[in-house]
Amino acid sequence: MEYKAPLETYSGRVKEVVIGKRDKAVKIGGENILPLHYFEGNAANKPKVALEIDDSGAVGWPEWVREPYKDVVSDPVRWAKRCLDLGADLICLRLESTDPQGANTSAEEAAALVKKVVAEVETALIVYGCGDDKKDAEVLSRVAEVCRDENLLLGPAVKENYEPLGRAVADNGHCIIAQTPIDINLEKELNVKLLKQLPPERIVIDPLSSALGYGMEYSFTIMERTKQIGVIHGDFAMQMPIIADLGGECWKTSQAKASREQGILWEGITAMSLLLAGANLLVLRHPDNCRMIKEAIDGKL
């Protein structure tokens, strides 16, 4: 008798989120399966990989992750185009210079830069602030206004600033990143609040991504549970795609800084693990890992 492996089917479905517009649009989510279980159902869109750039010229990046971009880091547009040449599906622009403890670049300057990158780069754009709640609300709200209807993915929205940032995103035609500190209950709470301002098709969950050896197991567990709650149990407030913003976390570890080979492995193992946990969108720094993860997604490894 021929053996047929049992298949699991689920009633829940992750919402499809579109980032960018027209020919620049990138779609994530839309699946009714657990991560990479393509044999059990419908994965409307395979996971996507973004490469990260920042507006401060890769200050503090180890030399081996900076090396592929060393001649373009002073120009975010050229840097973004290099990332596309190296295989990225989309670009993650981090506005590091807006940090009040650093260069404290103004919201107007940051918005002008984002507008320039949007105009000259042929893909969708993720825009992260500097991580200061108050400054991010100011900067990202202005970015939303200046880049109205460009359908950027903006964040992070956290419990301290989600209201003004959510309004700006809703009023100007963008998507938002809902970020919480590796806690399933806080994640759902923030999602519920944002759902009062935005439809689920414009929300992406960032549960925080830890690096290998620095809490990656916790990140894995939260992503896995998020996907299970949305797909298996059909919880509407947990059916958004997940972003794993992991590159920066990996490359600041002492292990990744120790050598090129070890650094690439550190980021690569973290990325592969979070892909298996349920990430729909991964933000990396090294192009070697971009290629490797895309091969894994396509089943070529």
Residue 8 lies in a domain: no
Q: Is residue 150 part of a domain?
A: yes
Domain membership of residue 112 as a residue range: 18-297
* CA distances to 16, 38, 57, 60 from 199, in Å: 11, 27, 35, 38
Q: Strand 125-128's sheet: what is its strand order?
A: 203-206, 175-179, 153-157, 125-128, 90-94, 48-54, 281-284, 243-245
* Residue 9: inside a domain: no
Q: What does the pLDDT look like over 21-52, one tens digit per residue?
A: 999 999 999 999 999 999 898 899 999 999 99
Burial 114-144 (b: 16+ CB within 10 A, else e): beebbeebebbbbbbbbbbbebbbbbbbbbb
pLDDT tens across 109-166, in order? 999 999 999 999 999 999 999 999 999 999 999 999 999 999 999 999 999 999 999 9
pLDDT for 46-75, tens place per residue?
A: 999 999 999 999 999 999 999 999 999 999
Closest CA to 68 of 264, 252, 282, 266: 264
Residues 6+ apart with CB under 8 A from 77: 116, 117, 120, 121
| Whether residue 156 has a cis bond before it, omega within 30° of 0 | yes
Residue 293 lies in a domain: yes
Specify the DSSP class assigned to residue 242.
Answer: B
Going by C-beta distance under 8 Å and a sequence separation of 6 or more, which residues neighbour residue 24?
122, 123, 124
Q: 95 is written with which tokens? A: 């506005």
3-class DSSP state of 130:
coil
Please determine, for residue 173, whether its predicted confidence score (pLDDT) is greater than 90: yes
As for how many domains the chain has, the answer is 1
For residue 5, tell me if it sits in a domain: no
CATH code where residue 256 lies? 3.20.20.20
Beta carbons of 213 and 55 less than 8 angstroms apart? no
Contact status, residue 81 vs residue 121, Cβ threshold 8 Å = yes
Whether 116 is in a domain gets the answer yes
> How high is the mean pLDDT of the chain?
96
Answer yes or no: is 3 within a domain. no
Q: Which two tokens stand for residue 68?
A: 């592929």
| pLDDT reported for residue 125 | 98
Categorize the per-residue pLDDT at 301 as very low, low, confident or very high, splitting at 50, 70 and 90.
low
Asked whether residue 4 is assigned to any structural domain, the reply reads no
What global pTM score does this model have?
0.96
**Among candidates 219, 231, 236, 211, which has minimal Cα distance to 276?**
219
